[in-house]
Amino acid sequence: MADQSKTSQGDLADRVQKGYAFAGEAIELGALVGDDGAAVPAAKVRIPLSMVNRHGLVAGATGTGKTKTLQMMAEQLSANGVPVFLADVKGDLSGVVAPGADSDRTRSRATEVGQTWTATGYPTEFLALGGLGKGVPVRATVTAFGPTLLSKVLGLNDVQESSLGLVFHFADQHGLPLLDLKDLRAVIQFLTSDEGAEQLKELGGLSKATAGVILRELIGFADSGAQDFFGEPEFDTHDFLRTATDGRGIISVLELASIQDKPALFSTFLMWFLADLFADLPEVGDVDKPKLVFFFDEAHLLFKDASKDFLTAITQTVRLIRSKGVGIFFVTQTPKDVPSDVLAQLGNRVQHALRAYTPEDAKALKATVSTFPKSGYDLEEVLTGLGIGEAVVTVLSERGAPTPVAWTRLPAPQSFMGPAEPAVLDSTVSGSPLQGKYGQAIDRESAYEKLMAKTAQGAATQRAEAAQQPITAPAPRPAPASSGAGGQAMGAVTDFLGSPAVKSFMRSAASSAGREIMRSVFGVSRRR
């Protein structure tokens, strides 16, 4: 499969040995495969731990071993004290919590690549978006997202994004906490109602038509499943950065199998997660090992039908977050699933087998080959002939240069390869220290409840005022104009009370009084 003689094969093994001989700690990816199809244990293929935050790509056709590769990498990161986040789309990564099953096949693979294999389970947290699945619920408030991030997720244009910012400003100024989507919808519905018409005018740049567009987008977004994600208690992303008592990094596994048909929900979470980490973590530059490594399996779900603004935000985040000590690995079928601007940021590549059954497959194969550095391999032939658990690898060396391209046989994970037993999963979730912090949803008083109470109070006040009005005899017929100064005075008062200026003042006074009533009954909401 490679255009090399036995002599040049020895040269390749020597180049790989030298090219992957790093001074610092590294993740073992396996051993070089020679022309005879046998592994060369002395020619180790590795990733420097200090380069993992330069991001990476694990790609390959279905059934080629991508999921096991990221599981194996997550194990080694954990063993080196690095916390890991795994997006488990297919539901088969939960086995990382349990020791693997010893077998002749596993032992044989370990011997081939020079691995010391020991059945090992790793410290694991299981998470679920909004409690949709088995795991500690992960939620965020609408306020935490803010108008800019939410606009990108909703696909709003610049004018609509600016208008949504005004809605957030109004809610903040009027003590209306935005905790979940029904809070935001309630504020927009209030502003577009007859009762909120005057306050809508005060916002200036927010038109009723634009507010209606935003409201429709929010309704569709909520119906896609996002309403379960927004709320309290809000998940603190620093809880992803923990280590166990033995010093190993905790592997946080987010179950997504139950929401595969809701890509907008996961995309929303990813944006919030990365944006929150980026905002909170300090700049650290180059580090000996990352603070967190994030693996996003089935990455095509993230980019499918994504808006231009969404892709721009992802690209900027990927480019800048490495300086915060965070590494991101996208796991997908072909590099074409990842936008080119994002792909350009991925310095570490583990490419499993590709198929060329269709013209589209052949095109994707050629595109994949073009992204690798020059090598002595016929990569089109190698990539279509790789076995399960084999990959073509090139990573960044400790000085930031690409390593030699190496056909690699990867080691087997030491944890269980497959979904964890339900009993193990349940006990891990119930025994999590995060369960007491996030397990029970909280629906405290927020914008929705306040606006509903305001509407109810206004209706009650109107009924009370109507009931207190005295029943009077019919008013006497007005005197003729010639009857004197009294009639003229009454007419002047009527004209004064009916003037636009006085009506505006009365509306303003009533609105202020209503706000004071809300404060006295419910208290002023605290700023987040």
Does residue 522 carry a pLDDT above 70? no
Q: What is the pLDDT of residue 89?
A: 83
Q: Where are the beta strands (DSSP E) in 178-301?
A: 251-255, 292-296
Q: Give residue 515's pLDDT band: very low, low, confident or very high (50, 70, 90).
A: very low
Mean pLDDT of 92-103: 94
Q: What is the pLDDT of residue 180?
A: 94
Helix (H/G/I), strand (E/B), else coil: 327: strand
Does residue 504 carry a pLDDT above 50? no
Q: What is the pLDDT of residue 254?
A: 92
Mean pLDDT of 490-506: 41
Token pair for 339:
């936008």
Q: What is the pLDDT of residue 518?
A: 27
Does residue 328 carry a pLDDT above 70? yes
* CATH number belonging to the domain at 12-137+237-258+286-438, selected among 3.40.50.620, 3.40.50.300, 3.30.450.90, 3.30.470.10: 3.40.50.300
Is the pLDDT higher at 302 or at 82? 82
Q: Give the side-chain half-sphere CA count within 13 A for 297.
A: 25
Q: Give residue 369's pLDDT band: very low, low, confident or very high (50, 70, 90).
A: very high
Q: 202-229, pLDDT tens digit by residue?
A: 877 788 889 999 999 999 888 877 888 8
- Of 331, 231, 239, nearest to 280 by C-alpha is 239
Cβ contact 275:317 at 8 Å: yes
Helix (H/G/I), strand (E/B), else coil: 442: strand
Q: What is the pLDDT of residue 273?
A: 86
Stated as kind and residue range, the H or E segment containing 426 is helix 422-430
Q: Work out the mean pLDDT of the chain and round it to a whole number.
A: 84
Residue-range domain boundaries for the chain: 12-137+237-258+286-438, 142-228
Does residue 132 carry a pLDDT above 90? no
Cα–Cα distance for residue pair 423/354, rounded to 1 Å? 37
Tell me the percentage of the chain whose pLDDT exceeds 90: 56
| Residue 255 bridge partners (DSSP) | 88, 128
Sheet holding 124-129, edge to edge: 39-48, 26-33, 406-409, 390-394, 348-351, 56-59, 326-332, 292-296, 84-88, 251-255, 124-129, 136-138
Q: What is the pLDDT of residue 459?
A: 63
The DSSP secondary-structure symbol of 502 reads H
Q: What is the pLDDT of residue 477?
A: 56
Q: Give residue 505's pLDDT band: very low, low, confident or very high (50, 70, 90).
A: very low
Q: What is the pLDDT of residue 516?
A: 30
